[in-house]
Amino acid sequence: MRLTIDVDDESLRCAAALTGIEDRAAVIQHALELLVRIESGRQLNALAGTDRDAVAAPRRRG
């Protein structure tokens, strides 16, 4: 998907320096993927303990 956005130059430079990713589109793609992972984890964490009938998953292979 092609998208035109305004991004703070300093934030983009800082993100590129921290990640070592030089391509601007790749930096933004990486940031979006990270945001999805973080927010998915938060939503999963919010569900903790809400299913009273859940059975614990086995921890060892048989």
pLDDT tens-digit profile of 3-30?
A: 999 999 999 999 999 999 999 999 999 9
Q: How confident is the model at residue 62 (pLDDT cuts 50, 70, 90)?
A: low
Instruction: Provide CB contacts within 8 A for 41, sequence distance 6+.
Output: none
CA–CA separation, 20 and 43 (whole Å): 29
- In this predicted structure, what is the pLDDT of residue 47? 84
Assess if residue 5 is contained within a domain.
no
Q: What domain range includes position 29?
A: 23-47
Pair of tokens at residue 2: 């092609």
Structural domain contains residue 8: no
Q: Establish if 1 belongs to a structural domain.
A: no
Q: What confidence category does residue 57 fall into, taking pLDDT thresholds of 50, 70 and 90?
A: confident
The pLDDT assigned to 23 comes to 96
Task: Count how many domains the chain has.
Answer: 1
Model-wide pTM > 0.75: no
Query: H or E segment at 38?
Result: helix 24-46
